[in-house]
Structures are given as structure tokens and as C-alpha cells.
Amino acid sequence: MLQLSDVKSYLEIDFDNDDVLLNTLITATKDFIESHLNRPIDPNNMTDENKWTVPSQIQIAQMMLIHHWYKNRDILTERTREMPFGISAILGPHRFMGMC
């Protein structure tokens, strides 16, 4: 799971003023990604039935999404509401579609 220090390093932030916001974004993006993938990415939330090895690309996608939401904090427009292509391209192959 991502830590605040990882995110601050990725965003090149060396001040503490936005720590609360960044922690909120870490949680919100985790929830968003889990919803998009239809499976947990937090090992603490996995059961025997939904356990999987979360690839490192998922953390990269989460940091990219945090960056996107951090830089676009204004009221969402149609353009900012969409998930950036790079993030969806990383997450897409890991979506669990369920059994038919």
C-alpha cells in the first residue's frame, strides 16, 4: 500500500501543508481503483476467495491518479471526470470481470 512519503516523493512535494489532502487522496484513489478493478488492492482487505498478487503497476496507476486529482482540484469538468488513458491502460488488464 502507498505511504504518504511515497506520494510526496512522486509528486516532488517537500512541505507538509497538504499532508491531510494527500492522505485523503491515497484512500480515495485506493477505493476508486478497487471499485474499477472489482477486487481489493489492499492485502488487509483480501480473503482467501479474492486473494491475488497485486502487480507494481497498480501502485504506479494509483500515484498517477493521485497526481491527476491533486493537480485538478477545481470543480470537475467533463475532461477531468474521465480517467486519464495511461491510468486506464494500466488498470484494464487487471480488472476482474467475474464468472459468467
How is the chain split into domains, by residue range? 4-94
* pLDDT reported for residue 19: 98
Q: Model pTM? A: 0.86
Instruction: Name the grid cell of 39.
Output: 477486487
Do residues 91 and 36 lie in contact, with contact meaning Cβ atoms separated by under 8 Å? Answer: yes
* pLDDT reported for residue 16: 97
Provide the CB-side half-sphere exposure for 17 (13 A, CA).
Answer: 3
Give the integer Cα–Cα distance in Å for 81 and 4.
24
What tens-digit pLDDT sequence spans the chain (100 residues)? Answer: 899 999 999 999 999 999 999 999 999 999 999 999 999 999 998 999 889 999 999 999 999 999 999 998 876 555 555 678 889 899 998 999 875 4
Do residues 2 and 59 lie in contact, with contact meaning Cβ atoms separated by under 8 Å? Answer: yes
